[in-house]
């Protein structure tokens, strides 16, 4: 059993300014009982994804491309091939602005969403502090790092409760389950082994050459990280954007 814990300090300067009382132009309304609903809602989610990378300051959503995070804490222990105690700070993630929405459905009774996304590229830069073991290699270091993933497919299932507040329906996002797959990964961790340069270069080269097992072994913790980031974004959006603007045929 893998023990995975993570703390994401998300949107530390979030300022609540009140929800949208009128329908913003980046929200497209679909009819849940229309046979063409999936096509309509796929486009509606794409329009939303085209808008939110610039942020929605009126509801406290910061820009998502680049997305800045103060800190990610990654702790993975147990019997697997990976033992990691790492923190990433001063993080910048680029690429969410070019998200392609391939599919979005909404369950007619539970209102859970199923969303399929594709990104050509996602790049993370930041400072890291790492102690651990990946593919049996002991790792230790602190410095700058970057990770560059390409051809990313994400399937996200969001659990929701439909709630009524202030005369509107709201999606309360109670959970999210993500599966993702990447087509390539390059990365560099600077100052590994506290600056023993030959060891740093050979270790980075070895791990890059074996990026697929590295990515697979980090998948549980990366999945949890993506889920926590997406949950923070979705909650900020849907706590402030009535579901009635998305679904024309909601009844009490």
For ligand NAG, the binding residues (CB under 6 A) are 36, 39, 43, 75, 85, 90, 92, 125, 127, 151, 153, 161, 163, 172, 174, 181, 183, 239
- Measured from the CB atom, is 153 or 223 closer to ligand NAG? 153
d(C-alpha 127, C-alpha 145), whole Å: 6
CB closer to ligand NAG, 163 vs 201: 163
Shortest reach from residue 203's CB to ligand NAG, in Å: 19
Residue of 73, 66, 55 whose CA lies nearest to 224:
73
DSSP state at residue 192 = B
Least CB distance to ligand NAG at residue 22 (A): 20
Q: How far is the CB of 165 from ligand NAG (least distance, A)?
A: 7
Q: Name the E strands within 42-136.
A: 67-77, 82-94, 100-106, 113-134
From 123, 113, 107, select the one nearest 45 (Cα to Cα).
113
Identify which of 87, 52, 222 has the alpha carbon closest to the alpha carbon of residue 149.
222
Choose between 166 and 198: whose C-beta lies nearer to ligand NAG: 166
Contact 94, 122 (CB under 8 A): yes
**Least separation in angstroms between CB 90 and ligand NAG:** 4
The nearest distance, CB 36 to ligand NAG, in angstroms, is 5
Alpha carbon of residue 102 to chain centroid: 16
- The H or E element that residue 197 is part of is helix 197-209
Question: Which residue's CB is nearer to ligand NAG, number 40 or number 207?
Answer: 40
Q: Retrieve residue 138's tokens.
A: 């002991």
Nearer to ligand NAG by Cβ, of 29 and 172: the residue is 172
Q: How many CA atoms lie within 13 A of 133 on its CB side?
A: 10
Q: For ligand NAG, give the closer residue by CB, 107 or 161.
A: 161
Q: How far is the CB of 56 from ligand NAG (least distance, A)?
A: 17
């Amino acid at each position: 059993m893998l023990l995975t814990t993570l703390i994401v300090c998300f949107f530390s300067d979030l300022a609540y300014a009140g929800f949208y009382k009128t329908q913003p132009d980046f929200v497209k309304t679909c009819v849940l009982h229309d046979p063409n609903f999936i096509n309509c809602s796929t486009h509606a989610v794409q329009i939303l994804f085209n808008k939110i990378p610039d942020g929605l300051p009126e509801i406290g959503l910061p820009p998502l491309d680049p997305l800045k995070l103060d800190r990610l804490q990654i702790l993975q222990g147990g019997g697997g091939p990976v033992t990691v105690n790492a923190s990433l700070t001063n993080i910048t993630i680029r690429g969410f602005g070019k998200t392609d929405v391939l599919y979005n459905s909404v369950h007619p009774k539970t209102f859970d969403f199923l969303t399929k996304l594709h990104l050509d590229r996602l790049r993370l830069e930041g400072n890291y502090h790492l102690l651990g073991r990946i593919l049996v290699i002991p790792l230790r270091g602190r410095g700058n790092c970057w990770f560059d993933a390409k051809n990313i497919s994400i399937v996200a299932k969001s659990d929701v409760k439909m709630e009524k507040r202030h005369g509107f329906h709201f999606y309360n996002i109670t959970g999210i389950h993500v599966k993702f797959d990447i087509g390539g990964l390059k990365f560099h961790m600077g100052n590994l082994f506290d600056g023993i340069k030959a060891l740093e270069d050979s270790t980075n080269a070895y791990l890059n050459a074996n990026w697929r097992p590295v990515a697979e072994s980090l998948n549980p913790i990366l999945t949890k990280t993506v889920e926590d980031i997406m949950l923070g974004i979705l909650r900020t959006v849907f706590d402030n954007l009535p579901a009635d603007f998305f679904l024309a045929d909601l009844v009490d």
